[in-house]
């Protein structure tokens, strides 16, 4: 089954404790991206990757890192999480970029 | 920077009526305009998309229109049903040169409620 898998689904952490949200797709898509969803603000792009070792900033990259060492995986790293990063996060993939995005199930992150 | 404005933020209609959601974008280089539907507690899913070389596209009860001159595009849902109740997001993707950049700018979302 074609899918994008994110883990974990729910995460509660404390300020400053490094965390990683994993994202994996099995569709051999070159394009992957991360979004955060906040009430009234819609979906905002954090980072995207056009291919292995090619990443670029979206609209709200501050406080986040990503890596793309393999085509299937695109982890989101928060080196020092802060409460304003409490949000619902979605990973997505597609090919080419201007085609329907396949979203993961989302990760609800709470930073206290 | 690039921006997509979406209106209204909430929309309530009676079953069977039509619903229209409008979006305007700032980057004239945008060439791909998808619409996503997100049901409560679920992931967004594409319902229709349009590219800049087309002015209108229809898929059963759903249609999207694009006015490149005015930089706005709209989603039209006819004969609404209770299962159309969801949050709808528009988005725009800019093109630079001959390639899409990978950037995708979403609108703020519209919560559609269809009353039976």
Among residues A19, A31, A10, the alpha carbon closest in space to that of A88 is found at A10
Among residues B88, B21, B68, the alpha carbon closest in space to that of A43 is found at B88
Q: Is the pLDDT of residue B54 over 90?
A: no
Q: What is the separation, in whole angstroms, between the first and last Cα of chain B?
A: 41
Q: Could you say which residues of chain A have pLDDT below 70? A: none
Contacts of B54 in chain A (CB under 8 A): none
Q: Do A44 and B106 touch (CB under 8 A)?
A: yes
Nearest CA in chain B to A5: B43
Question: Judged by CB atoms within 8 Å, which residues 47-86 of A form the interface with B?
Answer: 48-50, 56, 58-59
In this complex, is the C-beta atom of B109 within 8 Å of any C-beta atom belonging to chain A? yes
Q: What is the pLDDT of residues A11-38, one digit of tens each?
A: 999 999 999 999 999 999 999 999 999 9
Q: How many helices (H) does chain A have, and how many strands (E)?
A: 0, 11
The pLDDT value given to residue B100: 62
- Shortest distance, CA A40 to any CA of chain B (angstroms): 6
Q: Is the pLDDT of residue B98 over 60?
A: no
Q: Do A105 and B43 touch (CB under 8 A)?
A: yes
Q: Do A90 and B9 touch (CB under 8 A)?
A: no
In the block, which residue shows the tokens 């002015």? B55
The pLDDT value given to residue B53: 82
In this complex, is the C-beta atom of B111 within 8 Å of any C-beta atom belonging to chain A? no
Q: Which residues are CB-contacts of B81 (< 8 A; sequence separation ≥ 6)?
A: B15, B114
Q: Is the pLDDT of residue B99 over 90?
A: no
Q: Is the pLDDT of residue B24 over 80?
A: yes
Phi/psi at A107 (nearest 5 deg)? -130, 120
The pLDDT value given to residue A72: 97
The pLDDT value given to residue B76: 98
CA separation (Å) from A52 to A71, A86, B40?
5, 28, 33
The pLDDT value given to residue A95: 86
Mean pLDDT to the nearest integer, B32-47: 95
Q: Is the pLDDT of residue B97 over 60?
A: no
The helix/strand/coil state of B46 is: strand
Q: Is the pLDDT of residue B102 over 80?
A: no
């Amino acid at each position: 089954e074609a899918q994008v898998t994110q883990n974990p689904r729910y995460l509660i952490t404390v300020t400053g404790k490094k965390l990683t949200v994993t994202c994996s797709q099995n569709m051999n898509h070159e394009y992957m991206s991360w979004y955060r969803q906040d009430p009234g603000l819609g979906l905002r792009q954090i980072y995207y990757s056009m291919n292995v070792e090619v990443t670029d900033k979206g609209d709200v990259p501050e406080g986040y890192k990503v890596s793309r060492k393999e085509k299937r995986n695109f982890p989101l790293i928060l080196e020092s999480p802060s409460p304003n990063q409490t949000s619902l996060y979605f990973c997505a993939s597609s090919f080419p970029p201007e085609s329907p995005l396949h979203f993961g199930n989302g990760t609800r992150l709470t930073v206290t | 920077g690039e921006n997509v404005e979406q209106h209204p933020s909430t929309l309530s209609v009676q079953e069977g009526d039509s619903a229209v959601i409008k979006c305007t974008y700032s980057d004239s280089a945008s060439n791909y305009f998808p619409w996503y539907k997100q049901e409560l507690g679920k992931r967004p899913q594409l319902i229709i998309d349009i590219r800049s070389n087309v002015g209108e596209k229809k898929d059963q009860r759903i249609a999207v229109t694009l006015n490149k001159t005015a930089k706005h595009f709209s989603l039209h849902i006819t004969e609404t049903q209770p299962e159309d109740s969801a949050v709808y997001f528009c988005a725009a993707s800019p093109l630079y040169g001959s390639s899409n950049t990978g950037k995708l700018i979403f609108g703020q979302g519209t919560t559609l409620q269809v009353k039976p």
